[in-house]
C-alpha cells in the first residue's frame, strides 16, 4: 500500500530537499499522530548545473536534463500532489470514461527557458483491458487549459516519456480506444481492428452524404454483473452473461434509407452449433440470445431476425447507436432491456465503502475520511488500526425487511417482526465527490484548511483517496462530546441516489479525553508552582557572617599602538577621490541659452578645436534634419562638453577664450561670472538690449 509521510531520503547529488518516504506503524509525528501528509506536497528540488544528468523523482519518475541546458545555479522543482489536494490539481473537465492513471507531477524551474529539451518519465498503472489506451494531459505553467501532450511508451519500465521544452503539470489518463472510419454514399464494408468479430456493412445509396463513424468498446466485467445482480436481484434474475457495450457513432447523425447489417460477437462461453457450416436461422432456434440497442427513450430489443455463426450474431437495423448482446433464460428476451439499463449505469462503478478513522491525542485530534474499494476494505482497516487510528463505523439506517402487516376482522393479527439493519451496497466511481461537514459538539481547528479545501474525491486507479483534518471541542467545557461527520454528495441529481450517498458518522469522545485536551501546558504549571512555593529557612544570628570582599577582576590592558601603525591601519589604500561635478554654467539649460545668443555654431566648433570630421558630420546631420542655427550650436556645445575631462574651471576657460576670439567678450564675462557665483547662465545675466537683439538675429 502506498503511504504518504515526511522523511529524509537518500537521493542523487544535487538535491536540496525531499519529502518522500514510507510510513511504518511506529512512525509518529510531533503531536503523536501517525505520520500522514496533511496539506503539503511531496517536493524535491535539484540544482542541475551545466552538466545536467538523470534525477530521481517521487514514485519512480525520472527527469533527464541534457548537458548545457541550464545555467550553473538554475534549479528544477518537482511537486507531487497529495491525496488531500489532488482534486484541486487534476483536470476538472474529463469525460466520464476517462480516469486518472498516475500521480500528478508539477515541475517548475528558475530558468526562464531551456536551451535544450528535457525528458520526463512518468510511471502509470497497467492497462486492464485490450480496449483501453493511455493518454497524457498537461497544463503549462501560467496557463489554465489542459491539452494532450505527445509521448512515447517505455514498455520495459511501464513509463511514458515526454520531451518538453516547457514545464507545467502532467498526468497520465486512461480511456477507451477510438476507431474511426469513413462511409461514402456508395456503401462500405468495415471490419473492426479493435474487435475481431465486429463487422458493419452499409449498402449502396443508403445515405445522401459521406459520414464519419467512431467506434468504441466499453468493457463489462464479471464484477459489474455481480454488482448489478446484488443491487437489483429481481430485475436481473434472468440475465446470464453479456458482451461489451459497443458504441458506433455517426457524424453527422443520420437515419439510413435501407437497413445496415451489423455482426457482433457472442458472450464469452456461448458456443452455437451450426449445422452444415451455414448460418443458423432466427432467434427461434436460439431463444437464449438477445440483442438490445439504445434509443433516446431507453434500451430496446432488436426485433429483426438474427443470423448466427459459431461465435457471432448478425442483424439488420436502420440506426447507429450503442449495442449489447445478452445471454438470458430462454424466452425472457423482453426483460433484457431493463437489465441492460441497470447494467449500463454501473459499468464504471464498483462496490466501496467510506471509512472514518480518528486519532485522539492529548493536545491534538486528527480525523481521516477515506474512500476504499470493497475488495481492499478489511486490509485497509487493519492497516490503519496498526498505524494507531481508531475505526469509526458509519451510521446505518433502520429499515424493515418486510412490508407492513395488514389486519382484517377475518384473520388473526400477526405479530410484526422487529426492524433490523439492512446494509445497503455503496456504489463508488471515478470522480465521485463528497462535501465534508463537521457538526455536533466539535468544530474544525483553525490550523486545518477544511473550510476552503472541504472536498473528498475518489480516484479509482490510485492507491489512496482520503481527506485529513484537525478538529477541537466547540466549547471549553470538560464533558462528554458527541461528534458528527456528514458527507454530502456533490453533482448528484437523482434524489434516491443522493440519499444513498449521504453518509453520517457519529462518535462519542469521553470526558477524560476532553479534559486531557483542555488541560494547560505542563511548562505553565511548573512555573506557577515554583512561584507559589513557600521558603521556610531558619537563620540564626550566630551563623550570619560578614561576606568576604569579592576579588577584584583585573581588566585586560590595551597596548597602545604607535602613530605610524595607527596611520597605516586607518588610512585607506586608495586615495580619496572627490567626484567631479560640472559647473552650473555648463548645464543643459545654460548651453541652450548660449546657443540661442551665439548662432555661429560651426565657427564656435573651430575655436573650440573640435575635429574636422565631427564638424562635417554635425553639418550634414543639420542639413538632413532641417536644424536651425541655434540647434546646431547646442549640439556642438553638448558634444564639446562630453569630451572635456575638466568640466569646471578648465572647460570654462576654454569656452570663454573661444567666445573672446569670436568677438563676444561680454558673453564670456557673463559666463565666467555665473561660474564664480555657482549659478546657471540665463538671459538675465546680460543686458536686455543685447540679449533680445541677438535672439532676434538667430530667428
pLDDT tens track for 483-516 = 999 999 998 888 988 999 999 999 999 988 888 8
Mean pLDDT for 119-139 is 90
Max CA pair span of the chain: 145
- Do 353 and 488 lie in one domain? The reply is yes
Mean pLDDT in residue range 599-627: 86
Is the domain of 319 the same as that of 394?
A: no
- Please report the pLDDT score of residue 630 as a whole number: 86
Verify that 103 and 226 share a domain, yes or no. no
Predicted pLDDT at 265: 92
Least confident of 146-150, 253-257, 405-409, 455-459: 405-409
Same domain, 264 and 119: no
SS3 231: helix
Confidence label for 554 from pLDDT (cuts 50, 70 and 90)? low
Mapping DSSP onto H, E and C, the string for 409-443 reads CCCCCCCCCCCEECCCCEEEECCCEEEEEEEECEE
Burial of residue 430 (CB within 10 Å: 0-12, 13-18, 19+) is: buried
Q: What integer best gives the mean pLDDT of the chain?
A: 81
Residue 57 sits in the same domain as residue 111: yes
**C-alpha cell recorded at residue 457:** 474525491
Nearest Cα neighbor of 355 from 333, 336, 371, 375 is 371
CATH of the domain at 506: 2.60.40.2660
> Is a pLDDT exceeding 90 seen at residue 227?
no
The cell numbers describing 183, all together, are 462511409
- Given a cut of 50, whether residue 138 has pLDDT beyond it is yes
110-139 average pLDDT score = 90
Instruction: Please report the pLDDT score of residue 690 as a whole number.
Output: 54
**Could you tell me if 606 and 502 lie in one domain?**
no
b/e string for 565-604 if b means 16 or more Cβ within 10 A? eeeeeeeeeeeeeeeeeebebbeeebbbbbbbbbbbbbbb
Q: For the domain that residue 58 is a member of, what is the CATH number? A: 2.60.220.30
Question: What's the pLDDT at 269?
Answer: 79
CA 560/CA 688 separation, integer angstroms: 69
Per-residue pLDDT at 549: 66
92 within a domain of the structure (yes/no): yes
Which residues span the domain enclosing 145? 15-175
Same domain, 238 and 324: yes
In a domain, 538, yes or no: no
Q: What is the mean pLDDT of residues 658-686?
A: 89
Asked if 611 and 684 sit in the same domain, the reply is yes
Indicate if the pLDDT at residue 155 is higher than 70: yes
Check whether 634 has a pLDDT greater than 60. yes
Give the Cα separation of 71 and 62 in Å (integer). Answer: 20
- What mean pLDDT is predicted for residues 115-130? 89
pTM: 0.66
Check whether 313 has a pLDDT greater than 60.
Answer: yes
Please give the Cα distance from 573 to 568 (Å, whole number). Answer: 9
Query: Is residue 614 assigned to a domain?
Result: yes
**330 and 188 fall within a common domain:** yes
194 lies in a domain?
Answer: yes
The answer as to whether 576 is a domain residue is: no
pLDDT above 60 (res 526): no
* Whether residue 465 is found in the same domain as residue 317: no
pLDDT at residue 696 tops 90: no
- Give residue 413's pLDDT: 52
Number of domains, the chain: 4
Q: What value does the mean pLDDT take over residues 323-341?
A: 90
pLDDT on residue 555: 63
pLDDT at 12: 36
- More confident of the two residues 696 and 338: 338
Q: How far apart are CA 598 and CA 662, in angstroms?
A: 10
Residues 272 and 368 in one domain: no
User: pLDDT at residue 96 above 70?
Assistant: yes
Judgement on whether residues 199 and 325 belong to the same structural domain of the protein? yes
Determine, yes or no, domain membership for 689. yes
> Given the C-alpha cell 432491456, which residue does it identify?
337
Amino acid at each position: 500500500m502506498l503511504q504518504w509521510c515526511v522523511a529524509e531520503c537518500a537521493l542523487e547529488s544535487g538535491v536540496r530537499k525531499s519529502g518522500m518516504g514510507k510510513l511504518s506503524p511506529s512512525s509518529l509525528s510531533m503531536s503523536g499522530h501517525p505520520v500522514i501528509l496533511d496539506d503539503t506536497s511531496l517536493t524535491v528540488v535539484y540544482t542541475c548545473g551545466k552538466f545536467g544528468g538523470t534525477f530521481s523523482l517521487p514514485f519512480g519518475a525520472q527527469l533527464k536534463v541534457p548537458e548545457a541546458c541550464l545555467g550553473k545555479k538554475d534549479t528544477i522543482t518537482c511537486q507531487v500532489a497529495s491525496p488531500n489536494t489532488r482534486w484541486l490539481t487534476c483536470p476538472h473537465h474529463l469525460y466520464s470514461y476517462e480516469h486518472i492513471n498516475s500521480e500528478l507531477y508539477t515541475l517548475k524551474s528558475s530558468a526562464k527557458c531551456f536551451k535544450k529539451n528535457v525528458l520526463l518519465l512518468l510511471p502509470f498503472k497497467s492497462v486492464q483491458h485490450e480496449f483501453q489506451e493511455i493518454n497524457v494531459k498537461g497544463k503549462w505553467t501560467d496557463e489554465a487549459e489542459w491539452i494532450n501532450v505527445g509521448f512515447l511508451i517505455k514498455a520495459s519500465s511501464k513509463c511514458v516519456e515526454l520531451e518538453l521544452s516547457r514545464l507545467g503539470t502532467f498526468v497520465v489518463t486512461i480511456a477507451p480506444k477510438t476507431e474511426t472510419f469513413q462511409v461514402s454514399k456508395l456503401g462500405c464494408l468495415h471490419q473492426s481492428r479493435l474487435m475481431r468479430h465486429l463487422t458493419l456493412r452499409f449498402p449502396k445509396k443508403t445515405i445522401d452524404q459521406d459520414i464519419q463513424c467512431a467506434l468504441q468498446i466499453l468493457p463489462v466485467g464479471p464484477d459489474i454483473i455481480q454488482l448489478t445482480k446484488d443491487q437489483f436481484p429481481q430485475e436481473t434474475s434472468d440475465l446470464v452473461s453479456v458482451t461489451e457495450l459497443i458504441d458506433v457513432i455517426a457524424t453527422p447523425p443520420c437515419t439510413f434509407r435501407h437497413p445496415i447489417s451489423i455482426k457482433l460477437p457472442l458472450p464469452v462461453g456461448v458456443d452455437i452449433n451450426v449445422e452444415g457450416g451455414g448460418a443458423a436461422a432466427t432467434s427461434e432456434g436460439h431463444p437464449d440470445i438477445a440483442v438490445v440497442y439504445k434509443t433516446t427513450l431507453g434500451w430496446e430489443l432488436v426485433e429483426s431476425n438474427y443470423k448466427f455463426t459459431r461465435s457471432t450474431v448478425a442483424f439488420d437495423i436502420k440506426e447507429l447507436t450503442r449495442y449489447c448482446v445478452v445471454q438470458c433464460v430462454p424466452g425472457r428476451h423482453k426483460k433484457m432491456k431493463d437489465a441492460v439499463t441497470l447494467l449500463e449505469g454501473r459499468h464504471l462503478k464498483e462496490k466501496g465503502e467510506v471509512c472514518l478513522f480518528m486519532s485522539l491525542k492529548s493536545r491534538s485530534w486528527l480525523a481521516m475520511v477515506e474512500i476504499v474499494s470493497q475488495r481492499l476494505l478489511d486490509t485497509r482497516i487493519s492497516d490503519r488500526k496498526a498505524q494507531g487510528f481508531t475505526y469509526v463505523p458509519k451510521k446505518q439506517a433502520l429499515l424493515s425487511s418486510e412490508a407492513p402487516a395488514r389486519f382484517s376482522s377475518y384473520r388473526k393479527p400477526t405479530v410484526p417482526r422487529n426492524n433490523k439493519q439492512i446494509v445497503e451496497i455503496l456504489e463508488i466511481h471515478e470522480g465521485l465527490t463528497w462535501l465534508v461537514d463537521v457538526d455536533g459538539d466539535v468544530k474544525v481547528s483553525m490550523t486545518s484548511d477544511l473550510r476552503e479545501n472541504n472536498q473528498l474525491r475518489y480516484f479509482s486507479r490510485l492507491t489512496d483517496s482520503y481527506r485529513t483534518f484537525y478538529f477541537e471541542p466547540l466549547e471549553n467545557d470538560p464533558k462528554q462530546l458527541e461528534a458528527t461527520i456528514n458527507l454530502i454528495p456533490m453533482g448528484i441529481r437523482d434524489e434516491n441516489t443522493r440519499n444513498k450517498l449521504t453518509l453520517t458518522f457519529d462518535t462519542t469522545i469521553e470526558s477524560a479525553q476532553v479534559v486531557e485536551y483542555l488541560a494547560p501546558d505542563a511548562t505553565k504549571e511548573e512555573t506557577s508552582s515554583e512561584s507559589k512555593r513557600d521558603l521556610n529557612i531558619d537563620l540564626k544570628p550566630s551563623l550570619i557572617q560578614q561576606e568576604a570582599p569579592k576579588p577584584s577582576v583585573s581588566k585586560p590592558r590595551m597596548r597602545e599602538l604607535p602613530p605610524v601603525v595607527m596611520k597605516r591601519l586607518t588610512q585607506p589604500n586608495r586615495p580619496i577621490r572627490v567626484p567631479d561635478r560640472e559647473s552650473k554654467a555648463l548645464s543643459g539649460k545654460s548651453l541652450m541659452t548660449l546657443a540661442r545668443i551665439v548662432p555661429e555654431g560651426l565657427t564656435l566648433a573651430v575655436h573650440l578645436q573640435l575635429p574636422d570630421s565631427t564638424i562635417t558630420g554635425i553639418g550634414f546631420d543639420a542639413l538632413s534634419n532641417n536644424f536651425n542655427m541655434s540647434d546646431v550650436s547646442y549640439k556642438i556645445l553638448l558634444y564639446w562638453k562630453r569630451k572635456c575631462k575638466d568640466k569646471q574651471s578648465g572647460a570654462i576657460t576654454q569656452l570663454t577664450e573661444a567666445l573672446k576670439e569670436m568677438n563676444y567678450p561680454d558673453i564670456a564675462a557673463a559666463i565666467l561670472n555665473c561660474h564664480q557665483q555657482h549659478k546657471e547662465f540665463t538671459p538675465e545675466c546680460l543686458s536686455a538690449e543685447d540679449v533680445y537683439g541677438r535672439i532676434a538675429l538667430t530667428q
